[in-house]
Amino acid sequence: MQPPSSNPGADVDKRPSTISISSNEPEGRPVPDSPSLGTPERRSESTYRSQHPPPARLNCFRASSIHLPIYDCSPWDFYKPFLALGGGRLLGLCNHDAITRVIRIEPWPISSFPRNTIFTILQVQHRNFVDYYEAYFFQGQVFTVSEYIDFSVKEMVNNTLYPTESEIAYIIGQVLAGMRFIESRGESATISRRTVRISREGKVKIDPTSVPMDGEGSSADASCLESLMLSMMNETQETLKATGIRSWSHEAIDFVKATSWATAEELFKHPFLSSPRGPETLVVLCAASSLLIKKDVKPLEAFSERFSV
């Protein structure tokens, strides 16, 4: 995909006036280390900046209203295309290439995603959902700017990096926490190997913007966890019956069975998820993934400029 050429990497925020959306969340996202664009100056004219000064770095969750700017202009006025990740995804640079945070920019056809739908998607702010920072409507498409989460469960299992039972329990527990949250909002998200992503630090996040594909389930139905869990176990219903407790605990097998009838709230209390775990549970899995998963990336203009010989 060739990005539009429109003065990429501009250093002054000359975006038009924004459309702001807000949400009063029962549970907010962690206070970020910095805004999506990296420095206060880049966002000084936005609604977010004018109404919300940079918070102190606290180890807590913010539950106040969150305003997300949406601009009617080209994202390439403010970002330099750096790497093409495939599937219409790019990594971009901004602020004199001084930003170390990796962001993601995704285009969607507006005909498939009306603006009201985009607003709803971008309001999802929770520690188990990918953070979206802003959006641009330009040339019949919407480009969203988000954090970069390194791997999907699909990429892991496609590279035969299957989690252990304790790792599976942690991943499923985090996905369930996200499902319970979005259910409390009366909304839903696609849950599958493709949409569940894991960072190098072991954070598990759902990408709420992915369009459902054939065979993928919705967070509105907890049975979607069955295929996700079986894929991480490298099992099918048939092989799980055959291997049984030789390979997996009673709790793990019972949890898979329970996905066919239990609610997300009931599954969250299942004994399979009873042991307290943190992101450090995934240290080995994430280290192996960072070394062995091959990314189909292509250098773009900013990359060639940065690493030219």
Distance between CA atoms of residues 204 and 193, nearest Å: 12
CA nearest 124: which of 77, 185, 176, 76? 185
Which residues, 6+ apart, have CB-to-CB distance to 32 below 8 Å? 131
* 188 and 212 housed in the same domain: yes
pLDDT of residue 6: 43
Q: Domain range spanning residue 53?
A: 19-148
pLDDT of residue 108: 63
**Looking at per-residue confidence, does 86 or 228 come out higher?**
228
Asked if 85 contacts 295 with a C-beta cutoff of 8 angstroms, the reply is yes
* 62 and 88 housed in the same domain: yes
Distance between CA atoms of residues 204 and 224, nearest Å: 17
Which residues, 6+ apart, have CB-to-CB distance to 69 below 8 Å? 15, 18, 19, 20, 43, 46, 47, 48, 134, 135
* 155 and 253 housed in the same domain: yes
For the cut 90, the answer to whether the pLDDT of residue 176 exceeds it is yes
For the cut 50, the answer to whether the pLDDT of residue 8 exceeds it is no
For the cut 90, the answer to whether the pLDDT of residue 305 exceeds it is no
Q: Region 44-49: what's the mean pLDDT?
A: 30
* 124 and 164 housed in the same domain: no
Give the helix/strand (H/E) hosting 134.
strand 132-138
pLDDT of residue 208: 82
For the cut 80, the answer to whether the pLDDT of residue 266 exceeds it is yes
Asked if 29 contacts 131 with a C-beta cutoff of 8 angstroms, the reply is yes
The number of domains in the chain is: 2
**Most confident of the following: 36-40, 52-56, 112-116:** 112-116
The chain-wide mean pLDDT, for the chain, equals 75
The domain boundary residue, chosen from 130, 148, 166? 148
10-24, 47-61, 157-171, 238-252: lowest mean pLDDT where? 47-61
pLDDT of residue 165: 96
Give the helix/strand (H/E) hosting 91.
strand 89-93
pLDDT of residue 26: 37
Burial class (CB in 10 A: 0-12, 13-18, 19+), 17: exposed
Confidence of residue 65 (pLDDT cuts 50, 70, 90): very low
For the cut 50, the answer to whether the pLDDT of residue 215 exceeds it is yes
Global confidence as pTM? 0.76
Q: Region 31-37: what's the mean pLDDT?
A: 36
Asked if 158 contacts 151 with a C-beta cutoff of 8 angstroms, the reply is no
pLDDT of residue 220: 81
pLDDT of residue 118: 63
Domain membership of residue 189 (yes or no) is yes
Distance between CA atoms of residues 12 and 58, nearest Å: 29
Structure tokens at 126: 């929770």
pLDDT of residue 86: 74
Domain membership of residue 4 (yes or no) is no
For the cut 60, the answer to whether the pLDDT of residue 213 exceeds it is yes
Q: Position 251: which residue type?
A: E
**Looking at per-residue confidence, does 255 or 124 come out higher?**
255
* 142 and 210 housed in the same domain: no
Q: Region 4-21: what's the mean pLDDT?
A: 46
pLDDT of residue 30: 35
The domain boundary residue, chosen from 148, 166, 188? 148
Centre a 10 Å sphere on the Cβ of residue 203 and count the other Cβ atoms it contains.
19
Domain membership of residue 299 (yes or no) is no
pLDDT of residue 192: 92
**Looking at per-residue confidence, does 126 or 124 come out higher?**
126
* 281 and 155 housed in the same domain: yes
* 159 and 288 housed in the same domain: yes
Looking up tokens 């188990």, which residue turns up? 128
pLDDT above 70 covers a percentage of the chain that reads 67
Looking up tokens 């305003």, which residue turns up? 67
pLDDT of residue 169: 97
* 98 and 34 housed in the same domain: yes
**Most confident of the following: 37-46, 130-139, 251-260:** 251-260
Asked if 193 contacts 154 with a C-beta cutoff of 8 angstroms, the reply is yes
Domain membership of residue 298 (yes or no) is no
